[in-house]
Amino acid sequence: MRVAVGQVEPAFGDVDANVALTESVIREAAAKGADVVVLPELVSSGYMMASRDEAFGLAEVAGAGPATIAWKSLATELGVIVVAGFPEREGSRLFNAAILCLPDGQHTVYRKVHLWDEEALFFEPGDLGFPIVDTRFGRLGMMICYDGWFPESYRALALQGVDLVCVPTNWVPIPGQAVGQPGMATILTMGAAHANGIVVAAADRVGVERGQEFIGQSLIVSHTGWPVAGPAPATGSALLVADIDLAATRRSRAWGAFNNPVRDRRPEAYRLDPVR
Three-state DSSP class for 203? Answer: strand
Q: Which amino acid is at 256?
A: G
18, 58, 97, 219 alpha-carbon torsion, rounded to 10°? 30
Catalytic residue, chosen from 41, 60, 88, 119, is 41
Gap between the terminal Cα atoms of the chain: 52
Q: How far is CA 24 from the centre of its chain?
A: 19
Closest to 141 measured CA to CA, from 168, 111, 164: 164
CB 87 within 8 A of CB 55: yes
Is 77 a known active-site residue? no
Which residues lie below 8 Å from residue 16, measured CB to CB, with a gap of 6+? Answer: 66
Closest to 50 measured CA to CA, from 121, 113, 104, 105: 121
Is 72 a known active-site residue? no
Catalytic residue, chosen from 9, 112, 119, 166, is 112
CB 148 within 8 A of CB 188: yes
Is 112 a known active-site residue? yes
Torsion angles phi and psi, residue 102, rounded to 5: -95, 155
Catalytic residue, chosen from 72, 88, 101, 145, is 145
Catalytically annotated residues: 41, 112, 145
